Structure 1
Amino acid sequence: MILPWQTQVWEDLVKRQQTAGLPHALMFTGISGIGKHQLSLYTAEWLLCQRAKTESLSQPCGSCHSCQLWKAGSHPDFMICQPEDNSRQIRIDSIRKVNEFLAQTPQISHCQVVILKPVEVMNTNAANALLKTLEEPAGESFLLLEAERFGSVLPTIRSRCQRLQLQAPTEAEALAWLQQQGVNDTDAHSALRYNPGAPLAAKRWLEQDAGSQQQAWVNQFRQWTLDAAPLEQLVSAWNKLEIEDVIHWFNTALADALKTQLGVTSEQLVYQQLLPELLSGAMLDSSKLITLQRKVQEVQGNLMSGVSHYNKQLLLESLLLDWQATIRRHPVS
């Protein structure tokens, strides 16, 4: 199903396929939680549909043999390539499977479709193994690639794909969609504040009760900032959390801190009450704050790309101490 904010993108894709045809390799890009994977799955189902091709349908028919196999999750002409075996990277063995798959003749449909996600976590060997397939596609086949960080995709891959940049929905569209999913207005607003522009991420955030875990993190962060908890206590608590979540929340808090430096109102902050409360009677060292945010963003990028393995405890200790170093208390008169 096409999400409401994807209607125009879908219409453009259909028109293009029915006139000039879609490129062999199409890359869907955009932030997490806006429906990239849903769109690529729907595109794959439509491309594989036997009637959509012959009758120029703008959506999968849902009844042909191909569509029935799709619904059963056993379509022989479709493949998803993503990190395997608890790895954060797509490795060369996975790409070799893709190349072998595309070298075969379609069994049911007139084409084969592979979804590769997220493309930015392919390591260099895997990317090199994919290049020949991108340059010399076998038969009528389609590669649908998904990327959240287009700039992190290797240039050799970017240059061989046509990019489709997906825009985040407006706040009104995101709220309306969440309410259609049965989310009440208060929860919808709250979830979107922590997941701006990303209604699917907001829905998962609510379903997984991530807000409770996030609030616990905020409370612990507050204690550390106010010198009300020892370093060992916080690191012990944060060590039990997913490091990607901790780094994401930390980066959000730092972004809020930079906004306070610019004098924005609390309504424009993600953690609306946290920093104004914490920094009363204190100020931030701007240069250290910027340096820290760059460090956190680098860590976040490395984690997302799967290229680095951090000692979790040492990393958390370092970031917490760096944060304390940005705070300058006003002397008590």
Structure 2
Amino acid sequence: MISGVASESSSQLLPWQQPIWQDLVRRQQQSGLPHALMFTGIAGIGKHELSLRVAHWLLCQNSSGQADGLTESCGHCHSCQLWQAGSHPDFMVCQPEDNSRQIRIDSIRKVNEFLAQTPQISRCQVVVIRPVEVMNTNAANALLKTLEEPAGESFLLLEAERFGSVLPTIRSRCQRIQLLAPSAEQAQQWLQASGVSPDQASQALRYNPQAPLQAQLWLEHNLGEQQQQWLDLFGQWTQGRAPLDKVVAAYTKMELDDVIHWYAGVLADALKLTLSVAEDQLLHGGWLAQLLNACGDGATLNKTKLITLQRNVQEIQGGLLSGAAHHNKQLLNESLLLQWRALLQ
């Protein structure tokens, strides 16, 4: 959806972003930032949080952007008050709306119309577009002119998880700011500082490697328990102890993105297992080896079929991430489960 809503907490600086933040402030104070920045990096490391912080700072009436300007938003001016209320008239977020997976041309037209106006409170306007790689071709073409010739004093902050999937015409008109994931120690410390126990933090980061914000959501939504239920059902299906319709019904209730991401993890473990990778290097530890042993008769996996299935799942995952894929959840889950059973030999 498109919204001007932002909160003070959403623009807090994450510890591993400090060097990038300092560099952005220095550049803005010395020569000014380019009008189009693209923040790139994996999901769950704080791209949106950094975008919001930059937007808040640029809109603050007491942060002049000159050498004597503030390096933090003041939090007291009229602009900051509107920001904290989530109703700043010079700020917009553009993202997929109406339950769509894509950013369509109508959304970009609203962005262009917004930027054609004069700022109401601040000396500039700021638009965040996320994730930019799901803009369809028409939307991307509609944005090109604005990227080339921005109206007035305006800033476009684009966010992308898959930089290579962004159209070259968009990439070439933005300055890329690549965000690196925090170290394992930083991620662990950050999660523990939010009240998570060391064991919980380690488990969450194992399932969400290098992505502490994803790990935090994983814990908040009890996804570990949910994924264990998926594993139990998957094991029952593999051993022939659960009918197809029961397993499919359970998986179909879940978001397809989550299920496919989970499948990808299981198949990665399976491929590593065929290559005799140590259990401590597997996402689900020794679970899969134990499952195959429980199937009896020296059950193994057909490596050729496994690679084919893994590629199939990767293609499905890529289509879902791009926003262009449309699947019947029930039929897709049935197909994947049957293909998995066909791997056993």
Range into which the TM-score falls when normalised by the shorter chain:
over 0.9
Partner of 2:333: 316
1:11 to 1, 12, 22: 22
Q: Which moved more, 1:280-289 or 1:45-54?
A: 280-289
2:310 to 293, 309, 324: 293
Are the equivalent residues in 2 in contact too, given 1:256–1:275 (CA < 8 A)?
yes
Partner of 2:248: 235
Q: Following superposition of structure 1 onto structure 2, how do residues 1-333 of structure 1 map, counting pairs within 5 Å?
A: 1-53=12-64, 55-280=68-293, 281-328=298-345
Distance in 1, Cα, partners of 2:34 & 2:143: 16
CA offsets 1:41-74 (integer angstroms, 9 cap, x no match): 0010011111111542211111122111111111
Distance in 1, Cα, partners of 2:292 & 2:24: 50
Distance in 1, Cα, partners of 2:31 & 2:213: 32
Q: Which moved more, 1:67-76 or 1:53-62?
A: 53-62
Q: Which moved more, 1:212-221 or 1:222-231?
A: 222-231
Distance in 2, Cα, partners of 1:155 & 1:256: 34
- Using the TM superposition, give the Cα deviation of residue 83 of structure 1 relative to its aligned residue in structure 2, in angstroms: 0.9
Name the amino acid aligned to 2:329: K
Distance in 2, Cα, partners of 1:275 & 1:22: 51
Q: Which moved more, 1:242-251 or 1:158-167?
A: 158-167
CA offsets 1:275-307 (integer angstroms, 9 cap, x no match): 121233222222221111111111111112221
- Using the TM superposition, give the Cα deviation of residue 310 of structure 1 relative to its aligned residue in structure 2, in angstroms: 0.5
**Count of aligned positions:** 328
What SS does structure 1 have at the residue aligned with 2:327? coil
C-alpha RMSD of the superposition: 1.2
Q: Return structure 1 stretches of 4+ with deviation > 6 angstroms.
A: none
Q: 1:287 to 1:20 in 2, by over 3 A?
A: farther
Distance in 1, Cα, partners of 2:176 & 2:267: 31
In the alignment, structure 1 segments of 5+ residues that lack a partner are: 329-333
Distance in 2, Cα, partners of 1:312 & 1:72: 39
| Identity fraction in percent | 68
- Using the TM superposition, give the Cα deviation of residue 30 of structure 1 relative to its aligned residue in structure 2, in angstroms: 0.9
What SS does structure 2 have at the residue aligned with 1:197? coil
Are the equivalent residues in 2 in contact too, given 1:222–1:274 (CA < 8 A)?
no
Partner of 2:7: none
TM-score normalised per structure 2: 0.92
TM-score normalised per structure 1: 0.96
